[in-house]
Homo-oligomer: A and B are copies of this chain.
Amino acid sequence: MKQDATEDQVARVLFKIETLGSRAHLSKGRVHTAIGVIGATNGEEADILEYLDGVERVIRSSGPVMLASRDFREEDTVFSIDGSQIGSKKIIIIAGPCAVESREQLIQAALAVKKGGAQALRGGAFKPRTSPYSFQGLGEEGLKILAEARDMVGLAVVTEVVSPEQVPLVAQYADVLQVGARNMQNYALLNAVGTSHKPVLLKRALSSTIEEFLNAAEYILSHNNPRVILCERGIRTFETCTRNTVDINAIPVLKSMSHLPVVVDPSHGTGKREYVAAVSRAAIAAGADGLMIEVHPDPENALSDGIQSLRPQEFETLMEQLRPVAEAVGRTL
Contact = CB atoms under 8 A, between A and B. Distances in A.
21 contacts: A64-B130, A64-B133, A130-B212, A132-B218, A163-B188, A166-B188, A209-B238, A209-B241, A211-B241, A239-B247, A239-B250, A245-B247, A246-B249, A253-B275, A256-B274, A278-B286, A278-B287, A282-B282, A325-B325, A325-B328, A327-B328
Given A187-B162, A210-B241, A235-B245, A131 B215 contact: yes
A24 interface: no
A130 B215 contact: yes
Contacts of A239: 209-210, 235, 247, 249-250
B215 A132 contact: yes
Closest 3 pairs between A and B when the two form their complex, measured CB to CB:
A207-B207, A163-B188, A285-B285
Interface of A: 38, 64-66, 128-134, 162-166, 182-183, 185-189, 206-207, 209-212, 215, 218-219, 222, 234-242, 245-253, 255-257, 269-270, 274-275, 277-279, 281-287, 321, 324-325, 327-329
Contacts of A222: 132-133
**How many copies of this kind of chain does the complex include?**
4
Chain B CB within 10 A, most for which of A238, A242, A277, A327 = A238
Contact of A128 (B65, B187, B242): B187
A253 to B, nearest CB: 5
Chain B CB within 10 A, most for which of A164, A207, A219, A286 = A286
A222 B209 CA distance: 32
Given A38-B133, A64-B133, A130-B215, A209 B240 contact: yes
